[in-house]
Structure 1
């Protein structure tokens, strides 16, 4: 069961998610040790694979760096849930197959360390300690497909490969 890490402040920016001094690579495993370093130095020692970040509004504001998504995913974070996101961070999340879920009241519903049950199909997250269930903005099927593929580039490669296989068999393709 994933644990929740609460970063309740609004406007957590990409410099706090992954400080610029560590932008020397695009390898998630190399970025991971520095995730949230300037906000919470102990975060990477506590986070486990599959854990969830609950954050305040406008998460991911600041620069457009994809490294912010890569660092969190590399650290094991499976999703960030916030009332809303900076648009560029939200789009980078989708493009990289990472879940950024919008949910009103999320910060008030969880305490650091609570366990959560995340139901993507049902569009709910439940606090296992309190039993409170919140509904989040549904994830578009397109974003789920991109996530399943591992990111936008992988998604497009799968589509291209499928179309090429159809064409090789003489089947009509649909764009």
Structure 2
């Protein structure tokens, strides 16, 4: 599970606009079980493996999110362009990013279903920026997200940007997903 509604610090991985769920986790990698720990880790290995080159959204130099033969990334904060997570509704997309070690995604806009799957599944925290930070932040920059102050600080460049509050989904994020929230609120049995 991602670090919840508190400060998140780490390395940025910057993507372009319209990153879709097939780029986040290509269909050929949907053969692994999310319930089997030995198979589950392959979702991390293949996270963002469907983004073929810089023109399609990968950082300059075609840096992969997860190095070959690894299961987790050194990057834990994704900075995306507009319309992040468009495409099909597969919940495997935010799950694969979470499994790869991503704690949060910052983008000016998200595809609605990707945003809900991220929050409801307790995977990665989707923060909306007031501007397109993929034009401001560089892959490898050290970033700090402070949701209470609603800011993102680029420690490397010593610049600060605003993010929108999580609003009504903050309680779900803090609980670790919709089912944990429902259990905590007594909406479903804790059995």
TM category (shorter chain) comes to: 0.7 to 0.9
Residue 38 of structure 1 and its aligned partner are, at CA, apart by 1.5
Q: What is residue 19 of structure 1 aligned with on the other side?
A: 26
- Do the aligned partners of residues 161 and 64 (structure 1) sit closer, same or farther apart at CA in structure 2, a change above 3 Å counting? closer
The 4+ residue runs of structure 1 with deviation greater than 3 A are 161-164
Gaps of 5+ in 1: 165-175
State how many pairs are aligned. Answer: 161
User: Could you say which structure has the higher helix fraction?
Assistant: 1
Aligned-CA RMSD value: 2.2
Residue 158 of structure 1 and its aligned partner are, at CA, apart by 1.7
Residue 81 of structure 1 and its aligned partner are, at CA, apart by 0.6
Residue 102 of structure 1 and its aligned partner are, at CA, apart by 1.1
SS of corresponding position for 1:3: strand
Structure scoring higher RCO (CA < 8 A, sep ≥ 6) equals 2
Q: What is residue 144 of structure 1 aligned with on the other side?
A: 170
Per-residue CA distance 1:13-51 (angstroms, 9 max, x = gap): 0000001111122345331111001116731128237x1
- Work out whether 1:96 is the aligned partner of 2:121: yes
**Larger-gyration structure (1/2):** 1
- TM-score normalised to the size of structure 1? 0.84
**Contact 1:93 1:100 survives alignment (8 Å):** yes
Q: What is residue 171 of structure 1 aligned with on the other side?
A: none
Gaps of 5+ in 2: 1-8, 52-57
- TM-score normalised to the size of structure 2? 0.77
